[in-house]
Structure 1
Amino acid sequence: MNLFNPAEDENVSMVHPEYFIISGLSGVLHIKLYYVFLFLVYVLSVLANGAVMAVICLDRRLRTPKYVAVFNLAFVDLFGSSALVPKLLDVFLLGHRRIPFRSCLAFLFFCYTCLSMQSFNLVALAYDRLLAIIFPLHYQVKMTQRFMFSLISAFWLLVAALVALATGLLTRLSFCQSVVIHSYFCDHGQIYRLACNSHFPNYVVSCVYPPLIFWMPLAFILLSYAAIGCTLAKVAAVQERLKALRTCAAHLSLVAIYFAPLLVTFTLMDNIHPDGRIVNLSLTSVFPPVLNPVIYTLQTQEIKDSMRRLLGSARRAKRAKIWPGRH
C-alpha cells in the first residue's frame, strides 16, 4: 500500500477542497473583544522582541553563545506571532473564515514550526546553563558561538523536517465531506480527521509529534536542572548558590510560561469545554512571545546594562547634534 497516496491503490480519485473553513470560537460571546486584546498583545510582542534583537545586535558584549540562543528565541517569537496573529485576526475579526487549501497548509507549517522551535530553543538555553554551572572551567571551550549556531541550526532542520512531513502527509488525503476546522488555525489533528480515506500515517505522526517536540525537551530541561541542583548542593558558599540560581531565573520563568499551559490543557483535556480549550491554546501561542523579552529584560542584568549604555549613547549623540560645539 502506498502510504503517501493510498487513493492510487484503492482506485479512489483524490479530492482536495478549494478551501477550509475555520470555525473555532464562533459560539463565544463578545469574542471580538478577545481578538482586539490579541492585537494589542501582538503589537507589544513585535516591539519587545524587536528591541531585544536590536540590543543584542548593537552591543558586542552580548555576542556570546547564550545570547545567540536568546536572539534566536526573540526571532522565533517575532516570526511565530507574525505568522499566527494577523491571519487569526483576518479570519475571526474581519470574518474571512475561508482559507484556500494550500494557504491553510502553509499556515499550519509556519505556526507549528515556530511553536516547536520555541521548545528546542529552551533546550539550547538549558544546555548553556548546564555547562556554565557544572563545568565552569571548561565552559569557554565547550560552549562557543560556533557550537551554539550549529546546535540551533540542527534544531531548525529537525523541526522543519518533522513539520514538513506532517504537512506533506495531509496532501495525500481526500476530503469529500466536511471542510470545517473547529480550531483557531489550520490544526493538523482537526484537518486529517476530516479525510474520507485512510489517515493512519497522519495519526502516527500526531502521536509521535507531541512527545518528540514537547515532552522530551521538557524532560531534558528538568534533568538539567536536577543536575544543576545537585551541583549547587555541594557548593558551600550560599552567595555562590544564589548567584548561580539568579543566572537561571530568567530561563526557568520562560520554561514555566511555555510548558505550564500545555501541561494543564493536555492533562485536563476531557474536562475543558472545546471553546475553552481553543481559547487556552490560542493564549499559549501568543503570550510567551510577549512575555519572554520582558522577562529577559527584567531578570538579566547584562541586557539592562546594555540598554542603559545604548540609551546613554543615543542621548549623547542627540545632544552633540543639537550643540555641536559642546562636549
Structure 2
Amino acid sequence: MSTLNASFVQNMSIVRPEYFFIIGLSGIPYSSYYYIFLFITYFIAVIGNSIVLLIIALERSLHSPKYIGVFNLALADIGETNAVIPNMMKTFFSDSQYMSYNACLANMFFVNFFITLQSVTLVVLALDRVIAICLPLRYHALLNNTVMSLVFLVVWAFNTSLVALSTSLMTRLSICKSNVVHNFFCDYGPVLRLACNDNSINVFFNNVIATLFLIVPFCIIVLSYMGIFFALSKITTWEARLKALKTCVSHLLLVGIFFLPVIFPFIASAITPLTPNARVISTSLSFTLPPMLNPIIYVLNTAEIRVLIRKVLKNRIVPIRKNILK
C-alpha cells in the first residue's frame, strides 16, 4: 500500500488517487488468446458498423425513421467499442495497466453513455415496429424523419445529462481503500466500492441509472412485443403474419444479444457467486459481442442493405475484371 499512499493527492477533504490500476484480464488463463478474440471483434465491429453508417448516409431510399434508428445504433456501437477495447489492447501490448484519475472518469462517462444509448435506441426501434404493425395507416403521420430526428436529439441530450451527472458525483468520493479496479475498464461499480466516505448518493443514482436504462427499456420492449403479437393474432392469413413478423426479426435478435449478457451475471450470481475472473469475462462479452453482431444481423436480415452491398461490389469488381482481361 506504500505506492498507493504515495500516489494519493489531497484536495481539501477529498482524497483522490493519482492513478488507478486496472486489473483487466490478469490472472485469467490463456488471456493472450482472449485478447486476440477481442481484437477480432473490435475489427469486425468497427468495419461492419462503418459500412452500415456509410450505406444509410449515402442511400436515399434508406432515409426513413427506422434507419435513422439503425444509424444511431451503429454510432453507439462504434463509440462503445472504441471506449472499451483500445484500452484493453494498450494493456496487452504495452503491459501498462495504469489509468490517471481524470482519464478514468472520462472512460467511465463514454462507456456508460454509449451503453445507455444502445439501450434507449433499442426501445425507439421497438416503438417504430409497434407503430408500423399496429397502426400501419397512421405510421407516416405519427413517425417521420423529422420526428425521429427530434426523438434522438432528446435521447442524446437526456443521456448526456444523466451520465455526466452520475460521473461528476464520483468526484465527491474519497478513494482511499485501494486504487485497484477489478475490471478491464474504469467501471462505475468497482470504483464506487473503493470509496471510504459516504457513497449512498452515488449508489442511489447508480440504481436510478440502471433502472432507467436497463429495467425500464427491457419492460417497454416486452410490452411492445406483446402489443405486436396481439396485433398479429388478428391478421387472418399466416403469410401476412409471417411477413409482418419478419420485419421484427432483426430487432428481436439485437434485443437478445444486448440484454442477455447483461442479465446473465445477475441470474448466475443469485445461484452461485461469480468469481472475479468470470465476472470480468461476462462483462467483456456484454460490451464486445453486441457491437460486432449488430451490423451483421442488419446486413443479413435487411434486403435493401444486401442489395446495395452487392451493387457496390459489382460496380467495383466488374471494372477490375475488364481491366485484367484487357
How many aligned residue pairs are there? 313
Deviates more, 1:157-166 or 1:108-117: 157-166
Deviates more, 1:16-25 or 1:85-94: 85-94
Residues 112-148 of structure 1: per-residue CA shift (max 9 Å, x gap): 1111111111011101101100110111111101111
Shift of 1:222: 0.7
Contact kept, 8 Å, 1:84 with 1:111, in 2: the verdict is yes
Residues 1:277 and 2:279 are matched in the alignment = yes
Residues 1:75 and 2:91 are matched in the alignment = no
Residues 1:113 and 2:113 are matched in the alignment = yes
Contact kept, 8 Å, 2:49 with 2:74, in 1: the verdict is yes
Residues 290-309 of structure 1: per-residue CA shift (max 9 Å, x gap): 10000001111121122223
Contact kept, 8 Å, 1:184 with 1:278, in 2: the verdict is yes
For 1:292 and 1:112, locate their aligned partners in 2 and report how far apart those are by CA, in whole Å: 19
Shift of 1:317: 6.3
Residues 246-266 of structure 1: per-residue CA shift (max 9 Å, x gap): 000000000000011111111
TM-score (norm 1): 0.91
Residues 1:29 and 2:45 are matched in the alignment = no
For 1:26 and 1:102, locate their aligned partners in 2 and report how far apart those are by CA, in whole Å: 23
Residues 82-123 of structure 1: per-residue CA shift (max 9 Å, x gap): 111001221244321110000000001001111111111101
Matches within 5 A, 1:118-197: 118-197=118-197
Q: What amino acid is the match of 1:305?
A: V
Q: What amino acid is the match of 2:167?
A: T
Contact kept, 8 Å, 1:24 with 1:275, in 2: the verdict is no
Q: What amino acid is the match of 1:311?
A: L
Could you tell me which residue of structure 2 aligns to residue 203 of structure 1? 203
Shift of 1:168: 0.3
Could you tell me which residue of structure 2 aligns to residue 7 of structure 1? none
Q: What amino acid is the match of 1:281?
A: T
Contact kept, 8 Å, 1:45 with 1:78, in 2: the verdict is yes
Shift in alpha-carbon separation, 1:141–1:309, aligned structure 2, 3 A: farther
Could you tell me which residue of structure 1 aligns to residue 299 of structure 2? 297
For 1:88 and 1:131, locate their aligned partners in 2 and report how far apart those are by CA, in whole Å: 41
Q: Which runs of 5+ in 1 are unaligned?
A: 1-10
Could you tell me which residue of structure 2 aligns to residue 6 of structure 1? none
Shift in alpha-carbon separation, 1:266–1:200, aligned structure 2, 3 A: same
Could you tell me which residue of structure 2 aligns to residue 236 of structure 1? 236
For 1:148 and 1:285, locate their aligned partners in 2 and report how far apart those are by CA, in whole Å: 26
Q: What amino acid is the match of 1:176?
A: C
Shift in alpha-carbon separation, 1:39–1:135, aligned structure 2, 3 A: same
SS of 1:260 mapped into structure 2: helix
Contact kept, 8 Å, 2:22 with 2:186, in 1: the verdict is yes
Residues 210-267 of structure 1: per-residue CA shift (max 9 Å, x gap): 1111110011111001000001101101111000010000000000000111111112
For 1:111 and 1:76, locate their aligned partners in 2 and report how far apart those are by CA, in whole Å: 10
SS of 1:16 mapped into structure 2: strand
Could you tell me which residue of structure 2 aligns to residue 225 of structure 1? 225
TM-score (norm 2): 0.91
Contact kept, 8 Å, 1:166 with 1:188, in 2: the verdict is no
Shift of 1:174: 1.4
Shift of 1:165: 1.2
Q: Which runs of 5+ in 2 are unaligned?
A: 1-10
Could you tell me which residue of structure 1 aligns to residue 251 of structure 2? 251
Q: What amino acid is the match of 1:250?
A: S
SS of 2:125 mapped into structure 1: helix
